[in-house]
Amino acid sequence: MTRKTERGARPESDSATTPEAGIDRRSFFGMTAAGAAAVGALATGTQAEAGVQFSKERGAFGGGGAMTGGASRSENELYDCEVDGTLPADLDGVFYRVGPDPQYPKEKPSIAFDGEGHIGMFRIKNGHVDYKSRYARNQRWKAQHAARRALFGTYRNPFTNDPSVKDISGGTANTQIAYHHNLLFALKEDSPPVAMNPLTLETVDDYYTFKGGMKGKTFTAHPKVDYATGEMICFGYEAKGLLTKDIEVFSANRQGRVVWQAFIQAPYVSMIHDFAVTDRHIAFLAIPLNTSMDFLRSGGPHWFYDGETSSMLGIMRRGGDGKDIRWFKGPNWMATHTMGAWSDGEKVYVDMDGAFGNQFPFFPNVHGAFDPAKSAGRITRMSVDLNDKGADTYKYEVMYPQITGSLARQDERYVAKPYRIGFLNGQGRWHKVDHQTGQTSAFVGGPNTSLAEMSFVPRNKNAPEGDGYLIGVATRTNENGRSDLVIVDTQHLDAGPVATVHLPYRLPGQVHGFWVPGDQLPKA
């Protein structure tokens, strides 16, 4: 039986004994009158009557059976974590991490990219570590919390949603963290940032628009902060709504005010997960993860991989009106993350991790089956020379063919300029590559361990490029997925962790991690 809640109409009476529930609802929910009123104001549609039951099937979306892929849902705090080894005395900052953590089971399975954003923070200072985690209280989370059930269907497909959520944001805030003008952003590329207090993880704005300066409906999970100017350069694709080719690109100054903005057109609608910014140019890679209205109407998870579409690299002048954008054709391949990018006059170089085939098996292939051998990511350098007015293709070169992985990162002080050191996450290893010497080294997580994406932490403000630490979470698969935070020295990756922060439980799944230095945090 389902029942219209009508809680918005009478929030107070709902907190008292309700005849149909037969029990004191206030004490059942453990809720204060204020809390009940807040939920009442948010309640939409109907509330689930049955208890929460996730699939017990191993590997199912949010299923309880998977060793590490299951739902966690537990928001935790642990003051002064246990530390093995010695944390560098001057290590001061916060390691944030975010990933999808299903809030409620779904009637029909979705893909793992679709879980609600759960953010964790490790505050590290003076050799001590305090851990805290919170879900992003975004519009979707609040509506589902009130309804006590899932209201969004499959991944980024409004045709599969409950009618009650047609006017609220479906953003999960589950992909990456950014930090700018004293705000922490939890990001999903189909919606605006969710702004959080960086010290408490309290959601302060569930639909952040840079004081109205951002005009589009979407915002990337990978904005870039140019350390030379302090600006955050941002974009959003499908910016004017579902399946639109519009890309908004803008820059916010240190105060968060939009100081430059342009709209451009993509050659076709595709996943543009990351982009590249140099001191002079901005580059977007359109890839064969494509979509169509028919695919969405049939209930598809937003993307399919089209084995016959060419990738296109678009280059525009930074700070211009976007009319100069040129799209250069490339192979049928996909790439998701930018390691680094720079301009040398009119020559533009973009390094990304990618593969010559679909890397995401849960997005169906058209034209051929999913091929795991073609999904291994490699660092690939794309380049164009804008002085060549007749050129309509970009050049590309696979670097370090012996290293496979994904989630490329760099020393973020070198965003937008020539860089030397890159990092890649792959097969239980954190790789470091040195483009100057061609040398590579790696931290190996070891037996029964999988490694989530790391972040780079400079040893100190003036440390040379890439000199410092890699920090990230290790999952112990032989301990029911228990988690450790490990810190390794980039000069001695093979020596193992300098410190291991021991957690007594399994952390929620992670997509990306992000480091914020202590001197950039707001004062408590």
Binding residues for ligand V55, rule: CB under 6 A, are: 100, 113, 174-175, 189, 273, 336, 511
**Residues, the chain:** 524
- 157-185 residues labelled b (16+ CB within 10 A) or e (exposed): beebbbeebeebbbbbbbbbbbbbebbbb
Q: Which residues pair with 430 in a beta bridge?
A: 425, 443
| Lookup result for tokens 């009319």 | 323
Distance between CA atoms of residues 260 and 256, nearest Å? 12
Token representation of residue 439: 């040398």
Q: How far apart are the first and last CA of the chain?
A: 48
- 353-390 residues labelled b (16+ CB within 10 A) or e (exposed): bbbbbbbbebbebeeeebeeeebbbbbbbbbbebeeee
Q: Are 393 and 421 in contact (CB under 8 A)?
A: no
Distance between CA atoms of residues 432 and 470, nearest Å? 10
Distance between CA atoms of residues 74 and 468, nearest Å? 32
Q: Are 98 and 119 in contact (CB under 8 A)?
A: yes
Nearest CA among 79, 118, 90, 89 for reference residue 102: 118
* DSSP-derived 3-state class of residue 406: strand
